[in-house]
Amino acid sequence: MHPIRKKRLTIVLFLLVGLAIAVGLTTYALRQNINLFYDPSQISEGEAPVDVRIRAGGMVEEGSVVRDPDSLMVEFRVTDFNASVPVQYTGILPDLFAEGQGVVAMGRLDNNGRFVADQVLAKHDENYMPPEVADALEKASKGQHKASDSAESVSY
Amino acid sequence: MWQFFHKLGSPKWFFGIAARLMPWLLAGGILLLVAGIVWGLAFAPKDYLQGNSYRIIFIHVPTAFLAQSVYVMMAVAAVVTLVWRMKLADVFVKSVAPVGLVLTFLSLFTGAVWGKPTWGTWWVWDARLTSMLILLFLYGGVIALDRAINDEKSAARAVSVLVLVGVVNIPIIQYSVEWWNTLHQPSTFKLTEKPSMPAEMWVPLLLSVLGMYLLFGWLACLRMQTEILLREQRTRWVKDYVLAGRG
Find, among A81, A123, A88, the residue nearest to A109 by Cα: A88
Average pLDDT along chain B:
91
What pLDDT is attached to residue A133? 81
The CA distances from residue B155 to B59, B143, B227, in Å, are: 34, 10, 15
Binned at pLDDT 50, 70 and 90, residue A153 comes out as very low
Q: Could you report the per-residue pLDDT of A121-148, keeping only the tens digit for each?
A: 998 888 888 888 888 887 887 766 555 5
**A151 C-beta neighbours (distance < 10 Å), count:** 9
**B46 interaction partners in chain A (CB closer than 8 Å):** 130-131
> How confident is the model over A102-129, as a mean pLDDT?
88
Average pLDDT over residues A74-95: 89
Of A57, A95, A134, which is closest to B181 when you measure between CB atoms?
A57
The pLDDT of B134-142, averaged and rounded, is 96
* Residue B197 with chain A: CB contacts under 8 Å: 127-129
Q: Inter-chain contact B196–A127, Cβ cutoff 8 Å?
A: yes
> CA of B30, closest CA in chain A: separation in Å?
26
Distance (Å, whole) CA B209 – CA A93: 34
Contact criterion met (CB below 8 Å) for A40 and A86: no
Q: Classify residue B176 as exposed, middle or buried by CB count within 10 Å of its CB (0-12, 13-18, 19+).
A: buried
pLDDT of residue A138: 79
Do the Cβ atoms of B48 and A35 come within 8 Å? Answer: no
Mean pLDDT of B168-182: 90
Percentage above 90 pLDDT, chain B: 65
Least reliable range by pLDDT among A39-43, A65-69, A131-135, A151-155 = A151-155
Among A32-36, B177-181, B233-237, the range scoring the smallest mean pLDDT is: A32-36
Most A CBs within 10 Å, among B183, B187, B203, B205, to test the A interface:
B183
Its ipTM equals 0.78
E strand intervals along B19-108: none
Please say if the pLDDT value at position A63 is more than 90: no
Which residues, in sequence order, are bridge partners of residue A108?
A: A116
Give yes or no for B243 touching A (CB within 8 A): no
Q: Domain ranges in chain B? A: 20-246
Nearest chain A residue to B188 by CA: give it: A126
* pLDDT above 70 as % of chain A: 90
